[in-house]
Structure 1
Amino acid sequence: MFSCKQIANSNEGNSLSERDSISILKTGVLKPMPEKWIDVDTHHKVKKLAQSLPKSRSFYFHNRPFLSSKDTKDDLMVFYGLKDSINQLFTVNLQSGELQQITDGPEGKKGEIVAPNTRRVYYMVHNKVYYTHIDTRQTKLVYEFPDSVIGGVTTINSDENILGGVLITKKEQEIFNKNPKKSNYFNSIYEAKLKRTLITINIESGVMNEIYSENAWLNHVQFSPANPRLLMYCHEGPWHKVDRIWTIDVTTKEKKLMHKRTMEMEIAGHEFFSPDGKTIWYDLQIPRGETFYLAGINTDLTGFRKYGLKRNDWSIHYNISPDMKSFAGDGGDEGQVAKAKDGRWIYHFTVKGDSLIAEKLVNMKNHNYDLEPNVHFSPDGKWIIFRANFEGNSHIYAVEIAKNNISLHQ
């Protein structure tokens, strides 16, 4: 183990003191790791965001978890933490590190929907949809699915008045129940071709509307962050067998295919909106496992672009910075589609011509990729937030994009 007495930090206003003594460590070499450290392989600072909780889990990569603090001076992130053996929703102040518990009660919650303007977090308990206000902790029942259907919500529109989600059949739920691992249910659900229905729920009236049905695995439902009527969804299943990425106008019901495969074994997926809602970005491989791109298509089907990546730089999930000038990736192990020999890293990507240039931020070789890291940029664009299990349990971490100028002293 190495340590240094002083760090010359290039980021002003950092919540960590520039004169703090900080260990320089191989990430995951200790269990537990300290609250903060310098990754010895990358020279980037890493800090744990929910130190006092036994387990914590950040949101899926395309679910936006951020809002401002009540006084608007700081940024908050909503996440799941284990409290008294129950998963509850919390906020962490990304500047001060302060934790606040948002939900309570004896039953675990599921769902990752933050409404930053109305300052609510939406979630489900069994077949009921609730919201809790971030500041007042006031909780309200929004909708209860009847026993005759199995439904869920995953997204909120930009006006924060409509939730989006799906209905599934009881037969599909039985397949999930009998095959809890993704490797077991993935092909079975796809091949079953059971009916799924896209839905919306009006938050004020509590009225559910069925938008579109198909005998296909409709999944990854996401509202545009800018257009309150535009809903993105995918045809889930083996990516080389589906034209995956679609949008639908929830008012007119007009559907658009965002990417049409052009060759055998081409795949496109893990789609997400840019912050301005104008572009849908996605992992593109032409063909699968051979040539790797991060591609973007404007929602009006203009302005297609793709940036090439080296095999080792491919990531399970990508994300885009708040200023839309750079990207992040969570890497992958040798069992993923890229079969990368050296892909276990958290990456920051910058654009150079028609390629993405990768900088390694965190060595993830002690992380088990059964838990996908799911990267997010912090709202100020200075940190990349991810989840990992290199300490044994799942915890949330942030790595500083700026590299520290340090000297190693044994």
Structure 2
Amino acid sequence: MFAASAGPCAAQAEPASWKDRSTGQRIVRVDDTPGNYALYFNYSPFTPQGDLMIYLTPEGIRVADTKTWRTRLVLPARVDRLLFTGPRSRAAYYTTRDPAVEEGGPFTVWSVDLDSGRTRKIADLPGGRIQTINADETLLAGAYETSPPPPDIARQGKRDPLTGSPSYAGVGPDGKPLSFAAAKGQWMAARLAARVPMEMYSVSVRTGERKTIHRATDWLNHLLFSPSDPTLLMFCHEGPWHEVDRIWTIRTDGTQLTKIHTRTMAGEIAGHEFWGSDGSTVWYDLQMPRGSTTWLAGRNLATGEQWRYEVARDQASYHFSQSPDGRQFSGDGGNAGKWISLLKPVVREKPVPGLITPGRLETVRIADLSAHDYTLEPNQHFTPDGKWLVYRANVEGRPAIYAVELP
């Protein structure tokens, strides 16, 4: 099903820019429209050519030109979720949902051509959400709860319509309100214990046909197709990280269910996994135990090679990502070090076959986030040419999308 649109609107004027007082790097404020939303750290917001970046505002789907950072409206429409760009086409994928239907209920998935604004309906789906698209742009994949969770659990984690971030609330044993982090942890433990039946499924981009990949009472989340192998899907067993072996892969036909990392220490956590730029290495945050020694760990699924780069306290980040050339990482910081940073890996020992290669990370500070409230995750992305990092922050008192030029 195709639908014509009014076509892309004219680009806005030159966006505001300045030099970061602490680092000297040029920063561009791409958009600070109330209700702006940029994609999660492991969802691609860029066209294959790297010239456009997608994001969402209440008026609809917009794109930013990655050379000038001028923006224009592509699709004026009420959008439930902006998903990602296609790895081969100049399309963005998104979902719509009846406003009367609660989050997690039935929805429709669409694509929109970013040059013409023309839309195409792909499928009506029973619930949950689409989370990823495969390397040859033939399949989408998502997960949903086949039975509803208990009402108290279902009420938590709803997205704030102005920030796009989830909200959590709760009280401790003393009856006092919990912090955002503590309330989220309490909710995650309750959700894991509920053992809600779930299903992972694929959807044909061409026909809309839905097929089951995997069923479980594990909490299935964080789906991410390999950027090089169209039938290989990474996903996680969600929950408090110290209670789950989180990182898994599976084939789209449901075979080869494989655990990527096994905990070996009480309190050990591994998570916020992402595919490396080589398309075959899985990188993740590893703490042994939690709150103690931290590593940026990598495992090449093709060769079996492993790396562990020690993360200093002021390098700790909500999310890491890898540059397109694979030579460095980025970190979005945290309360111990509120910066957008480049992290350059340095190997400490000569690699030995069959053993983990240890290393450390050298920091280059890029953008000062000292005024940022991390209840809004920055979710930084390298542009495909490796010249910018795009992130979201509230350093000026409101959520905005920024781009910082790299040295």
* Distance (Å, rounded) in 1 between the aligned partners of 2:322 and 2:234: 17
Equivalent residue for 2:189?
A: 187
Whole-angstrom distance in 1 between the partners of 2:253 and 2:146 = 24
Indicate if the aligned counterparts of 1:351 and 1:357 stay in contact, CA closer than 8 A: yes
Q: Which residue of 2 aligns with 1:331?
A: 333
Structure-1 separation of matches of 2:255 and 2:84: 23
For 1:351, give the aligned amino acid.
P
Q: Does the CA-based 8 Å contact 2:282-2:300 persist in structure 1?
A: yes
- 2:405 aligned partner: 400
Name which of 89, 112, 120 aligns with 1:132.
112
Question: What is aligned with 2:180?
Answer: none
Does the Cα contact within 8 Å between 2:47 and 2:91 map onto a contact in 1? no
Shift of 1:170: 4.4
**Superposition TM-score, scaled by structure 1 size:** 0.81
Does the 8 Å contact 2:83/2:130 carry over to 1? Answer: no
Q: Structure 1 residues 397, 173: CA separation in 2 closer, same or farther (over 3 Å shift)?
A: farther
- Specify the SS of the correspondent of 1:95: coil
SS at match of 2:318: coil
In structure 1, runs of 5+ residues without a counterpart are: 1-33, 334-339, 403-410
| Match status 1:82 vs 2:58 | yes
Q: Which amino acid aligns with 2:401?
A: I
The SS at the match of 2:193 is: helix
Structure 2: stretches of 5+ with no match in the other structure: 1-14, 98-106, 158-166, 169-183, 348-358
Residue in structure 2 matched with residue 280 of structure 1 by the alignment: 282
Which of 22, 41, 65 does residue 93 from structure 1 map onto?
Answer: 65
- Which of 116, 120, 132 is 2:91 aligned to? 120
Distance, in Å, in 1 between the alignment partners of 2:90 and 2:80 is 18
Which residue of 2 is the match for residue 44 of structure 1? Answer: 25
Aligned-residue offset at 1:213: 0.7
Once the two structures are superposed, what CA deviation does each residue of 1:333-364 show, in whole Å capped at 9, x if it has no partner?
2xxxxxx3xx1111111112210111221111
Say if 2:214 and 2:254, in contact at 8 Å, map to a contact too.
no
| Mean Cα deviation higher: 112-121 or 283-292 | 112-121
CA deviation digits over 1:357-384, x for unaligned, max 9? 1122111111111000011111111211
1:211 equivalent in alignment to 2:188? no
Residue 367 (str. 1) matches residue 372 (str. 2): yes
Following the alignment from structure 1 to structure 2, what is the Cα–Cα distance between the partners of residues 314 and 330?
Answer: 8
Question: What TM-score comes out, normalization by structure 2 length?
Answer: 0.82
Amino acid of the structure 2 residue aligned with 1:364? L
> Secondary structure of 2:110's partner?
strand
Q: Give the Cα–Cα distance (whole angstroms) in 2 for the partners of residues 57 and 137 of structure 1.
A: 19
Task: Specify the code of the residue in structure 2 equivalent to 1:283.
Answer: D
Partner of 1:322, secondary structure, is coil
Quote the Cα distance in structure 1 between the aligned partners of 2:228 and 2:147: 34
Whether the 8 Å contact between 1:167 and 1:197 is mirrored in structure 2 is: yes
Q: Residues 175 and 188 of structure 1 are in contact (CA less than 8 Å); yes or no, is this contact kept in structure 2?
A: no
TM-fit CA distance, 1:39: 1.6
Q: Partners of 2:388 and 2:150 in 1: how far apart?
A: 38
Partner of residue 269 from structure 1, selected from 268, 271, 275: 271
SS of corresponding position for 2:69? coil
Report the secondary structure of 1:189's partner residue.
helix
Q: Percent identity?
A: 36
1:61 matched to 2:41? The reply is: yes
Deviation at 1:175, TM superposition (A): 4.4
Q: Deviation per CA, 1:93-131: give whole Å up to 9, x if none.
A: 0102231212223x3331322104222111111111111
Match for 1:379: what amino acid? P
* Residue in 1 that maps onto 2:318: 316
* Structure 2 partner of 1:165: 142
Q: Judge conservation of contact 1:258–1:301 (CA < 8 Å) in 2.
A: no
Q: Which residue of 1 aligns with 2:130?
A: 153
User: Is the contact made by 2:225 and 2:233 (CA closer than 8 Å) also made in structure 1?
Assistant: yes
Provide the alpha-carbon RMSD of the alignment.
Answer: 1.9
